[in-house]
C-alpha cells in the first residue's frame, strides 16, 4: 500500500506585476511520478531549486498540483473535504527550529497541534507526554524553548508534529541549521520514528551522509526525478551526481579514490563503518 502516490504532478510558480499580469512562469515540478510505500524511509536530494521543497509541500496539500494528482494514503490532496485528514496523516518539520516554536513552554508548544484539531484535554496530555518521550525531551516539558539548543528545539518541533499522530513525516532540510551533535540527535530520532513507530519518512537534505542512511534515495533535477534507487546504487554513479550539483558521501568518495589508486575495495561502500571494515579485511590478507 502506498502512503504517497504522485501521478504526473506538475507545478509552476507564477510571478505577476502590480497589475496582476503574468511576468514569468517557472516550472518547479515537471511530470513527477512517485510512489512511496508505507513505512519507507526515503531521502530526497537535489541542487538548490531542483524542486525538492515544492514537492514536499504537495504532500500535505500546502501546494496543489497544476496538473496531475497527489494521494496521501489514498486521499486526493485536491479534495478539500479531506484536507484536515491529510494534514493529520502527513506532518511536516521545517528547516529553522526558531520559526516553528511558538509557545513559551515546551509542552504547550507540543500541545498546539492536537488542540487545534479539537482533541480533548486529557488525551492531549497523554499525546504530548508520549511525543516528548519519543524524541527524548520529556525532561524538558516544563522548560522554555528559548534556552534549548538547536537540536533540542528541532526535536520539540518533531514532537509537535508527532502529537497529531501522523503516519508520515516530511522533513524539509530539518538538519541544515544545526550543529554536529544537533544533527546527530535529529537523525537518531528520525531513524527511530521510522523503525520503531513505523512512520513513513520523506527526508530532504543536502547532506549526502544523511541520505545514505535512508532505504531509498530520490534525486531531483530541474523539477524532474532523475535517479531513484537504493543509496548504494545512487552513490555508485559519482559522475552523474557531480553533474547534478551533488557529490558522494565522504566515505564513498574516499573508497572510490582508494579503488582508483589500486586498493581492491568493493563498489557499494557508502558509509564510514563499512569502509573501515573493508580496509580491515585488506589488512588481514
Partner 1 sequence: MSITVKNISYHYDNPGSEHSGRQVLCDISVSFDRDSFTAVIGPTGSGKSTFIQHLNLLLRADQGDILYDGESIYAQGYDRKKLRSRVGLVFQYPEYQLFETDVLSDVSFGPKNLGLPEDEVRKRASQALLQVGFSEADFHRSPFELSGGQKRRAAIAGVLAMQPEYLILDEPAAGLDPAGRRELFDMLGELHKKGGVGIILVSHSMDDVAKYADRLIVLNEGRILYDATPAEVFSHGKELESIGLDVPQAAKAAQMLRNRGISLPEGLITMEQVKTAILDHFG
- Whole-number Å distance between alpha carbons of 78 and 126: 32
Largest CA distance in the chain: 74
Minimum Å gap between C-beta 32 and partner 1 is 19
Q: State yes or no: residue 150 binds partner 1 (CB under 8 A).
A: yes
Tell whether the torsion through CA atoms of 240, 243, 244 and 248 is positive or negative.
positive
Smallest distance, Å, CB 156 to partner 1? 13
123-131, 135-143, 172-180, 226-234 -> range binding partner 1 (CB under 8 A): 172-180
Identify the CA nearest to 44 among candidates 232, 267, 207.
Answer: 207
Residue 179 in contact with residue 150, Cβ under 8 Å? yes
Q: CA-CA distance, 99 to 109, in Å (whole number)?
A: 12
Task: Supply angle C-alpha 173, 176, 179, rounded to 5.
Answer: 145
DSSP class of residue 33 equals E
Q: Based on the shown chain and the rule CB under 8 A, indicate whether residue 261 belongs to the binding site for partner 1.
A: yes
Verify binding: residue 179, partner 1, rule CB under 8 A: yes
Q: Does 149 bind partner 1 (CB under 8 A)?
A: yes
Q: Which of 120, 121, 137 is nearest to 129 (CA)?
A: 137
Residue closer to partner 1 (CB basis): 61 or 158:
158
Binding mask 37-76 for partner 1 (x = CB under 8 A): ---------xxxxx--------------------------
Q: What is the DSSP string of 206-264?
A: S-HHHHTTSSEEEEEETTEEEEEE-HHHHTT-HHHHHHTT----HHHHHHHHHHHTT--
The least distance separating partner 1 from the CB of residue 268, rounded to whole angstroms, comes to 17
Total residues in contact with partner 1, by rule CB under 8 A: 45
Cα 147 from Cα 156, distance rounded (Å):
12
Q: Does 105 bind partner 1 (CB under 8 A)?
A: no
- Residue 109 interacting with partner 1 (CB under 8 A): no
**Candidate list 117, 181, 266, 267; residue touching partner 1; CB under 8 A:** 181
Site for partner 1 in 196-255 (CB under 8 A): 206, 208-209, 242, 245-247, 250-251, 253-254
Chain positions contacting partner 1, by CB under 8 A: 46-50, 95, 104, 144, 146-147, 149-151, 173, 176-182, 184, 206, 208-209, 242, 245-247, 250-251, 253-254, 257-258, 261, 263, 272-273, 275-276, 279-280, 282-283
Amino acid at each position: 500500500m502506498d502512503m504517497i502516490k504522485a501521478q504526473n504532478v506538475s507545478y509552476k510558480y507564477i510571478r505577476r506585476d502590480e497589475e496582476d499580469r503574468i511576468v514569468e512562469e517557472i516550472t518547479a515540478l515537471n511530470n513527477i511520478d512517485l510512489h512511496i510505500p508505507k513505512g519507507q524511509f526515503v531521502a530526497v536530494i537535489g541542487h538548490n531549486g531542483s524542486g525538492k521543497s515544492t514537492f514536499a509541500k504537495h504532500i500535505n496539500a500546502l501546494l496543489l498540483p497544476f496538473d496531475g494528482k497527489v494521494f496521501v494514503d489514498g486521499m486526493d490532496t485536491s479534495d478539500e473535504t479531506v484536507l484536515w485528514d491529510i494534514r493529520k496523516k502527513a506532518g511536516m518539520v521545517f528547516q529553522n527550529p526558531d520559526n516553528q516554536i511558538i509557545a513559551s513552554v515546551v509542552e504547550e508548544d507540543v500541545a498546539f497541534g492536537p488542540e487545534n484539531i479539537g482533541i480533548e484535554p486529557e488525551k492531549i496530555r497523554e499525546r504530548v507526554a508520549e511525543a516528548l518521550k519519543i524524541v527524548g525531551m520529556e525532561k524538558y516539558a516544563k522548560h522554555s524553548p528559548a534556552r534549548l539548543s538547536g537540536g533540542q528545539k528541532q526535536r520539540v518541533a518533531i514532537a509537535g508534529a508527532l502529537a497529531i499522530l501522523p503516519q508520515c513525516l516530511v522533513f524539509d532540510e530539518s538538519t541544515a541549521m544545526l550543529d554536529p551533535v544537533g544533527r546527530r540527535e535529529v537523525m537518531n530520532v528520525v531513524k527511530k520514528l521510522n523503525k520503531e513507530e513505523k512512520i513513513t519518512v520523506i527526508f530532504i537534505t543536502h547532506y549526502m551522509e544523511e541520505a545514505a542512511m535512508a532505504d531509498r534515495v530520490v534525486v531531483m533535477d530541474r523539477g524532474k526525478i532523475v535517479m531513484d534507487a537504493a543509496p548504494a546504487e545512487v552513490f555508485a554513479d559519482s559522475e552523474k551526481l557531480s553533474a547534478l550539483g551533488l557529490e558522494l558521501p565522504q566515505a564513498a568518495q574516499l573508497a572510490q579514490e582508494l579503488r582508483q589508486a589500486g586498493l581492491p575495495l568493493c563498489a557499494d561502500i557508502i558509509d564510514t563503518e563499512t569502509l573501515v571494515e573493508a580496509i580491515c579485511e585488506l589488512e588481514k590478507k
